[in-house]
Amino acid sequence: MDTSGAFDVVGLDARAEAVYRLVLTEGTVTPDDVAAALPVAADEAATRLERLRAAGLINRVSGHGHFTAVDPRVALRALTERTADRLDRVRADIPTMAALFESMGATAGTDPEVRVVDEPGLIGMWYVRLEHEVTEEFLTFDRPPYVLAADNPVEPLVLARGVDWRVVYAAEGLERPGAWDELRHAVSAGERARVAPELPTKIAIADRRIAIVSTSLDLDRPVALVTEAPPLVDLLVAHFEATWERSVEVPALDDLSTAAPPGSPSREDLALLAMLGVGAKDEVIARELGMSPRTLRRRSAELFDRLGAANRFQAGAQAVRRGWI
């Protein structure tokens, strides 16, 4: 049975929602009826029915083990109003929680436009805060070392809100196994990404309004600057845009076998040029393109000959002149 997933907000997961829809459809059910109609065991069906009953969405007929539906126009409205009341209580506690946070010295006593943050947890906190607050545009430089875990569970949520998310990756950050797969997955979700041979630091900018920039990349003693000062934010945005223009967009590598028109580069050629251009190491390129090191050397030599280039730099320049990249 199809579910909407929208009931998560009131504490009903997809299975609970499916059970509820079944009760609404049938009018009266037993746990055995639910187990026969849905992929749940009878004991789990009984548990979920009782939870729906506790939420006020269904009734249990005394002595018969039957459960009947309550008019959802009444029951669901009451449930959503109770949820809204709980959310309002959480909102009302925000100032109190913020005061506790500031009492530990996390943000107190600093200029509201410029803050120096020198603890890994707080640096990570500010980055995630920018992700939560951004509404239109998120710009970032991505390079090692990393304070937070490599995967970012918040980014898909931000992309789903329609935020324009642009990242410039440092080539060194893509050397670890799986990094290119993670990049392609992020791009498929809506991220716009380019790769630069190197990046001087790490930056994240939300809505061209607030930014965090690392001033020390020592993982043992990281230091970052958080600023809302317009001149500093504008300067960081200008630096990001200039770097973005100089960086390379790596073509999708999901179907390198697609035939190219005569005289034009294949998708594998473009991928090889892009990865050579950002300074990726030979072993990384060979791994990502599924080639042996020997095949990579041969393909690189053939591409250089075709472009009349003696090295990576000349190959990139010739490819730009020809409009390949």
Radius of gyration of the chain (CA): 27
Domain C-terminal end among 103, 133, 164: 103
**118 and 97 both lie in a single domain:** no
Q: Are residues 82 and 163 in the same domain?
A: no
Do 63 and 144 belong to one domain? no
For residue 86, pLDDT over 80 is answered with no
Q: Are residues 282 and 225 in the same domain?
A: no
Residue after which a domain boundary falls, among 246, 280, 309: 246
Report the pLDDT value the prediction gives residue 150, as an integer from 0 to 100.
Answer: 64
252 belongs to a structural domain: no
Order of strands across the sheet with 203-206?
A: 114-117, 223-227, 210-216, 203-206, 137-142, 164-170, 192-196
Contact 143, 199 (CB under 8 A): yes
Domain with 40 in it: what CATH number? 1.10.10.10
Residue 200 lies in a domain: yes
Q: Are 26 and 81 part of one and the same domain?
A: yes
Q: Is the pLDDT of residue 209 over 90?
A: yes
Q: Based on the domain organization, do 83 and 129 belong to the same domain?
A: no
In a domain, 119, yes or no: yes
Are 223 and 278 part of one and the same domain?
no
Tokens matching residue 194: 């380019």
Pairwise pLDDT comparison (270 vs 306), residue with the higher score? 306
For the stretch 33-48, pLDDT in tens is 999 998 888 888 888 8
Reported as a single tens digit per residue, the pLDDT across 112-134 is 578 888 888 888 888 888 999 99
Shared-domain flag, residues 96 and 118: no
Helix orientation angle between 312-321 and 267-277, rounded to the nearest 10 degrees: 130
Q: Residue 57: inside a domain, yes or no?
A: yes
Q: How many whole angstroms separate alpha carbon 286 and alpha carbon 296?
A: 6
Please give the structure tokens belonging to residue 81.
Answer: 């109003």
What is the pLDDT averaged over residues 173-197?
A: 83
CATH number for the domain that contains residue 226: 3.30.870.10
Asked if residue 52 belongs to a domain, the reply is yes
Q: Which of 31-40, 90-99, 208-217, 234-243 has the lowest mean pLDDT?
A: 90-99
Quote the domain boundaries for residue 275: 267-321
Q: Evaluate if residue 325 carries a pLDDT over 90.
A: no
Q: Are residues 120 and 239 in the same domain?
A: yes
Higher pLDDT, 235 or 171: 235
Q: Is residue 124 part of a domain?
A: yes
164 and 241 co-located in one domain: yes
* Residue 52 to residue 12: CA distance in whole angstroms: 8
Q: 98 vs 32, which has greater pLDDT?
A: 32
Number of structural domains in the chain: 3
Judgement on whether residues 172 and 227 belong to the same structural domain of the protein: yes
Predicted local distance difference test score (pLDDT) of residue 107: 46
Residue 313 counted as domain residue: yes
252: confidence class by pLDDT, cuts 50, 70, 90 = low
Question: How many C-beta atoms surround the C-beta of residue 242 within 10 A?
Answer: 10
109 within a domain of the structure (yes/no): no
If asked whether residues 15 and 77 sit together in one domain, one would say yes
Is residue 164 within 8 Å of residue 190, measured between CB atoms? Answer: no
Which of 55, 83, 103 is the last residue before a domain boundary?
103
